[in-house]
Amino acid sequence: MKKYTNQLWQSVCRPVSKFMDRGMLGGTLLLAATIIAFVWANSPFHESYETLIHVPISISVGDFELNNSVGHWINDGLMAVFFFLIGLEIKRELLVGELSNVKSALLPAVAALGGMIVPAALYLVINMGGQYTSGWGIPMATDIAFALGVVVILGNRVPLSLKVFLLALAIFDDMGAILVIALFYADEINILNIGIAIVVLMISSFMNYKGVRKISPYAILGIVLWLALLGSGIHATVAGVLLALTIPARSKHDDISFKKEAHDLIHKFPESDFDLMVINEEQRESMKRIQCSVEDLDTPLQKLEDKLHDFANYFIIPIFALANAGVSVIQGNVEISLIHPISLGIIVGLIIGKPLGICLFVLATNKIGVTRLPEGITNSQFFGVSCLGGIGFTMSLFITNLAFEDLESITQAKIAILIASLIAAILGVFLLTRRKR
């Protein structure tokens, strides 16, 4: 039993550790892009920043044409790929990860629920009866890249069990944010395009059922799905998540059949000496069969995750930050105020609402015995990780662009997000580096 428990724990920790190693660089690039964008937008060269973001790019096929600015292509196009990666990670976690076991998933699920409800409620209370209530979804989000980047920097001061908890909480948080975007930040619904999207998803699901494992057919369907949702009223990035849920996630082999097949292939490998390279055609054919056997062991979902993870974290998210964090505070006619209802709602929601919601919901479920904190975790450490949940950067900026249309509201919101995320990070680091009591 002990051996099985250790193997199970290692299977959970290995991908988390891998994610942490990547998270350090991803968080660093995200921070660098944010600083560059903010400095650029407030420098004497601020006009070049605005010009670049609004450069029009057209794509046309026959009579069909899409014409959007660079900023829109980043927010609607590149971010759809990022949402696709989120969908892949959610599906994997639901099947074999931390979220596959109800008992293991309950703690981060409850924490994420509290971390979404309380910040949104505080924002609505502050903006009650005003014209800015549409921004209630902004303080609900947690930026996994920044949050994990912080815990990676802290190293062994943050127990692995807390890192696993933060990762699982962020996944639930992403699921909540996606639902909020799809349900509450949609424009006027176009039934025809919704119908096309449903048909595309049915075709993709049927392909999965019939064992289609090549990536290209799913990619083509993904483009059609994205175009359908682009004109449907639902934000086009949701297409990424929906498509990800239809990607095959089952290996062609189990461990026994793979070992047997690999053993037979290697045992039957043709006898022929080689030094510099393999030139025997029979040996090369055997090599291809061995390679195919290994390829069949991996799943399309895992292959796509591996291919897209670095692209999303080292390119898409920094580019998104570069395009959205360039908020001017010294140019223009917008007067920045931290007591503006939007700013106050976001700052209170992220700095107070996030950790308060996470801790209250976990405390309540712990009290009745539904959930239990990992052993060896101090209250200070748990509250510190809860504070890191208030780093709402990427998804908060994304929802800001959906919640508001006027420049003043968007600017107030973005400045508040930057300030609140910075304070949340500092509070989290302070609490996590305190000595155990």
Render pLDDT for 387-426 as a digit per residue (tens, 0 to 9): 999 998 888 999 999 999 888 899 999 999 999 999 999 9
pLDDT > 70? residue 331: no
Where does residue 68 rank: exposed (0-12), middle (13-18), buried (19+ CB within 10 A)? middle
CA distance 396 to 223: 26
In angstroms, the CA 378 to CA 262 distance is: 48
| Cβ-based burial of 7 (10 A; exposed 0-12, middle 13-18, buried ≥19) | exposed
**Domains observed in the chain:** 2-185+235-250+299-432 (1.20.1530.10), 255-293 (no CATH)
The b/e string for 280-301 (b: 16+ C-beta within 10 A; e otherwise) is eeeeeebeeeeeebeeebebbb
Q: Which residues contact 240 (CB under 8 A, 6 or more apart)?
A: 79, 80, 81, 82, 83, 84, 85, 86, 87, 222, 226
Tokens 């392909």 sit at which residue? 207
Neighbours of 315 (CB within 10 A): 15
Under 8 Å between Cβ of 198 and 221: no
pTM over cut 0.85? no
**Residue 14 identity (one-letter amino acid):** R
Amino acid 279: pLDDT: 67
Tens digit of each residue's pLDDT (9 = 90 or more) over 167-223 = 888 888 888 888 899 888 888 888 999 999 999 999 999 999 998 989 999 999 999
Percent of the chain with pLDDT over 90: 40
The predicted pLDDT at position 297 comes to 76
pLDDT at 288 over 80: no
CA pair distance 177, 345, nearest whole angstrom: 18
SS3 content of the chain, % helix, strand, coil (to 5): 75, 5, 25
Tokens of 70: 């660079």
Closest residue by Cα to residue 300 from 234, 367, 212: 212
